[in-house]
A = this chain, B = another copy of it.
Amino acid sequence: MTQPMPAVALVPVVCVVDDDQAVREALASLFRSVGLAVATFGSAADFLARENAAAPGCLVLDVRLPGVSGLDFQSQLAAMENSLPIVFMTGHGDIPMSVRAMKAGALDFLAKPFRDQDMLDAVAAAIERDAASRRETHALSAVRTAYASLTPREREVMRHVTAGLMNKQVGALLGLSEITVKIHRGNVMRKMGVRSLADLVRHAEALGDHTSV
């Protein structure tokens, strides 16, 4: 369906999942009319089996799907840490359904028939959110990689240093001399790629928000 083009990997793709081919084609035409790349799928399984699964963009999902429901599929995607923003659409939805989807993190929930512009607005917002999410994830991944290169001892020292303790206090806590703490601390600064304690604290906070909590 899509050509293996690595260069296109950074172009946001609107993934349309609907069992009605006419709907898929209509939506694909709509999105292409505003210059968006589109990939269409007839089922959740087809979507999961797609190539270029790491591509940015968003997911336009019919609530009623063959096999698994759109809401359950949303839960599955969340469980597998797929953070692609979802725009739901439905022809026979009700309020509890839409509320459940929104509470589960859906970006929008459109009842058919919807105006084309509403769908385009929702998709544009979803793509923007995905881009922001990816920027944040990308920035964090570098910090994670650096942190992974630390030895256990260095991580202990980093934890206490970013907590505001002095080298001598860290040494007392860990049963080390202040000199050794200094060495570990220097290694931490070098491996984490920071040149100031302020930056190290910020990196530690970014890691803590996603790992230890």
A83 close to chain B: CB less than 8 A: no
A195 close to chain B: CB less than 8 A: yes
A98-B99, A205-B202 known; A164-B111 Cβ under 8 A = no
> What 1/0 mask marks residues of chain A from 87 to 113 whose CB sits below 8 Å from any chain B CB?
000100111101100110000111100
- Please give the count of copies of this chain that the complex contains: 2
Q: Which of A14-59 contact B (CB under 8 A)?
A: none
Report the contact-size class of chain A (Cβ under 8 Å from the partner): 20 to 34
Partner of A95, one of B98, B103, B202: B98
Question: With A and B bound together, what is the CA distance between A111 and B95 in angstroms?
Answer: 7
Residues of chain B within 8 A of A109, CB atoms compared: 95, 99
Question: With A and B bound together, what is the CA distance between A98 and B101 in angstroms?
Answer: 11
> What 1/0 mask marks residues of chain A from 191 to 210 whose CB sits below 8 Å from any chain B CB?
00011111101100100000
Contact, CB under 8 Å: A198 / B164: yes
A187 close to chain B: CB less than 8 A: no
Question: With A and B bound together, what is the CA distance between A107 and B196 in angstroms?
Answer: 41
Residues of chain B within 8 A of A98, CB atoms compared: 95, 98-99, 102
Residues of chain B within 8 A of A201, CB atoms compared: 197-198, 201-202
Residues of chain B within 8 A of A195, CB atoms compared: 164
Residues of chain B within 8 A of A165, CB atoms compared: 196
Question: With A and B bound together, what is the CA distance between A90 and B94 in angstroms?
Answer: 13
A163 close to chain B: CB less than 8 A: yes
A75 close to chain B: CB less than 8 A: no
A143 close to chain B: CB less than 8 A: no
A131 close to chain B: CB less than 8 A: no
Residues of A near any B CB (own CB < 8 A): 90, 93-96, 98-99, 102-103, 108-111, 161-165, 194-199, 201-202, 205
Closest 9 CB pairs of A and B: A164-B196, A102-B102, A164-B198, A95-B111, A201-B201, A95-B98, A99-B109, A198-B201, A98-B98
